[in-house]
Each structure stands twice: as C-alpha cells, then as structure tokens.
A = this chain, B = another copy of it.
Amino acid sequence: MSSTYGKNIKVTVFGESHAAAVGVTIEGLPAGVSVDAEGLQAFLDRRAPGRDRFSTARKESDTPEFLCGVKDGKTCGTPVTAIIRNSDQHSSDYASIADTPRPGHADYTAEIKYGGHQDKAGGGHFSGRLTAPLCIAGWLAMQVLKEQGIGVAGRVTAIGGATESEEAMLQAIDRAKADGDSVGGIVECVAEGVPAGLGDPMFDGMENRIAIAVFGIPAVKGVEFGEGFGAAALKGSENNDAFEIRDGKVCLKTNHCGGILGGITTGSPIVVRAAFKPTPSIAKEQETVNLKTMENCTISVPGRHDPCIARRAVPAVESAVAIAVLDALLEQGKYQAYNG
C-alpha cells in the first residue's frame, strides 16, 4: 500500500501489465463533469506505445471501459471506475527471466516484498502500463480544471543530456537504440491559471502534493519546482521574486519559485520538472543473479521496450500534476464559504 492518491479526491490505480486489466477508481469528482470519450482517447493515445520508431513496438488499444460513476456522458458524483483490458501480452517474453531480476527494475525488490507471489510478467503492478489508468484519472481531473480556467501542459526538455533542440534529443534516442541501450530525460510541466492560495504549509504544500503524485510514475528519480536544484547555486537577491502591482493586482515580477511559496500557490504558473532515469530494459548484456540457484549470471532483456521513457511519460506527468492541483483546488473550496 498504497496505490491510492489524494485527500479530497481519491485516485486508486490497480492492475498488472499482464493481468486481465488495469484500471482506476476516482472518488470525489464533482457530479456533472462531461466525459467525452473521443477527447479521453486522444489523450490516452499520447502515451500509448507503438506510435513511432522512438517507442516500443508493443501495440495497445488502451480503450477504457467505464464500469460505473458515469451516466449519459457525465459524472454521477459517486466513484468512477474505468478499466483497460490487457490484450497484446507476450508473457512468454518474460517466462525465461522470471528468476533473474532485471537490473534497474523492481523485479528484485518486489520479490523481497511479496515473497515471490507478485505477478512477474511484464513488471506486474510496477509496469509503466499503470500510467494508462493514471492518465484516465488525470484527464478527468483536467476536465474539471479546464472549467475553472486551469490548463496543464508538459514537454520533454532534455534527453540523454541533450537539451537544445528536439532533433538533438531524438538523435540521442536513436544512438541509444542502435547500441541496444536507452537514455533518460527530463519532463517539465506547467499548470497555468492556478489561483493563488492553493496548498498548505508543511506536509500538504503544493510541492509535497505534486511530488507524491509525480514520484508515483515509474522511473522518476527527482522532482523540482521553479529554479529547483539550480536555486541552490543562486543568491537570495537572484532567486527571490519581487512583487509589484499590475493592473491593480499583486503580481510576481519573476517566477523563480515555480508558482509556490510556503507550499501555497502564488497565482503564477506552477512549474515542475521530473527526472526520468533511462529505461532499465536494454538489449545489452548485463550482470544479474539467478534467485533460485543463487548464482551470478547475465541477462539481455528481451521484449519490446522504449529506448526513452520520458517522451511517452509527458501525459502521465500532466495527469499527476492535474490530479494534485484538483485535489488542492477542492480543498480550497472548503473555506470559500467562510471568506465571504
């Protein structure tokens, strides 16, 4: 535990890569939110594999079925559950490596935690496939946010050290793929239109809330806001955002803080970056062990894998941010009756 996120909405992600289905239950969504099947499908397609040569050849339809909580195209206010059946499974791809944990994967730690009872095929509950139901929840959250004038958009800002042009980034992927290797990357996500006053001090700040959600995406190893780690090298006079009156309102002249001060939104865009490690599954031979014989051995991970996770992860990061922002937005609503 726990595959559940949130205090004011609750997003519970379930499923394994090679089980009957993956899915998600979202509690606490307002009633009456429009669920436009085409819009959702278009969003899910952004993370789906098999779209181009830069991603895994595994093809998945990723067509969600809403089991409950949606009627006549609108949310009911009660729990919404949607599932995606798993279809294009090649479990045999994994059978041969069930006892040899793949370096960089959760195979070994899951073995320790679940005593061998975990579903080993395709990474089980640890698979990147679990970002599909996360994206369903994220897309639903975005529909509510949109009505409140809030937009969430992500993009890849670095791949394998290349940061300047998309061409350079794609070349880094191509090089890695040719080597039977993979590369990491950075995804930046910006939430615009977020009102000032969301989030709380201490452990419920917007940074904490967003970090929980973003670290929920497999392969994320770092999360930063605004100047982030760069702020550690700055002076206060460089990093502080001056205030000014603009059009009769208080504004920040810069946004080094990434839209968050003291855990609470400033009204400027929230800017968050997530560091994705390189895809652990690579064709290159790696050292590992056989957990049954307890002997050293080598492994070359079969199957069809993304040479770079970061690109397909963009909608997952957007989803994580949208869910966190909606959770905080609902929290704020609690107090609006008292701020008359």
* In the complex, A151 has a CB within 8 A of chain B: no
A109/B12 in contact, CB under 8 A? no
- Give chain B nearest CB distance to A176 CB in angstroms: 6
How many angstroms from the CA of A231 to the CA of B242 in the assembled complex?
Answer: 33
How many angstroms from the CA of A223 to the CA of B273 in the assembled complex?
Answer: 11
A interface secondary structure, majority: mixed
- Assembly of this chain: how many copies? 4
B248/A294 in contact, CB under 8 A? yes
* In the complex, A54 has a CB within 8 A of chain B: no
A263/B106 in contact, CB under 8 A? yes
Partner pick for A4 among B10, B223, B234, CB 8 A cutoff: B10
- Give chain B nearest CB distance to A337 CB in angstroms: 5
Query: Which B residues are CB-close (under 8 A) to A5?
Result: 202-203
Q: Knowing A203-B3, A203-B212 touch, does A239 contact B277 (C-beta < 8 A)?
A: yes
Q: Knowing A16-B68, A67-B14, A211-B212 touch, does A203 contact B108 (C-beta < 8 A)?
A: no
Binds B, one of A40-48, A55-63, A178-186: A178-186
30 CB contacts below 8 A, A to B, read A1-B204, A5-B203, A12-B27, A14-B80, A14-B81, A20-B66, A21-B67, A30-B335, A30-B338, A69-B125, A75-B117, A79-B125, A105-B262, A106-B262, A108-B261, A125-B202, A184-B232, A186-B229, A186-B232, A205-B215, A221-B226, A222-B223, A230-B275, A231-B277, A236-B278, A238-B278, A239-B280, A242-B288, A244-B289, A250-B294
